Amino acid sequence: MVSLFRTNARTTAAQRIEHERGAVMVEYTLLVALLVVVAIVSLRELGNTTATQFVAIVAAVSGIAS
């Protein structure tokens, strides 16, 4: 009876560890996905800001040259 309990306890512990590994994998996947979204949004905004500054520089240089 004690042997059966120990085997069952080990199996339950192994299943719990495996379940936690799966949960951790999901958490890391969600974290990486969130970081990718933040990076894409940041780079798009940086690109828009940079493009606006280049247009302003070109307009200023064109105004000076003419």
Specify the 3-state DSSP secondary structure of 42: helix
| pLDDT for res 65 | 60
**Residue 11 binned pLDDT confidence (cut-offs 50, 70, 90):** low
pLDDT at 31: 96
| CA-to-CA separations, 22 to 4, 27, 28, 63, in angstroms, rounded | 27, 9, 10, 61
The per-residue pLDDT for 21 is 74
Q: What is the pLDDT of residues 29-56, one digit of tens each?
A: 999 999 999 999 999 999 999 999 999 9
Q: What is the DSSP letter of 66?
A: -
User: What average pLDDT does the segment 20-26 reach?
Assistant: 81
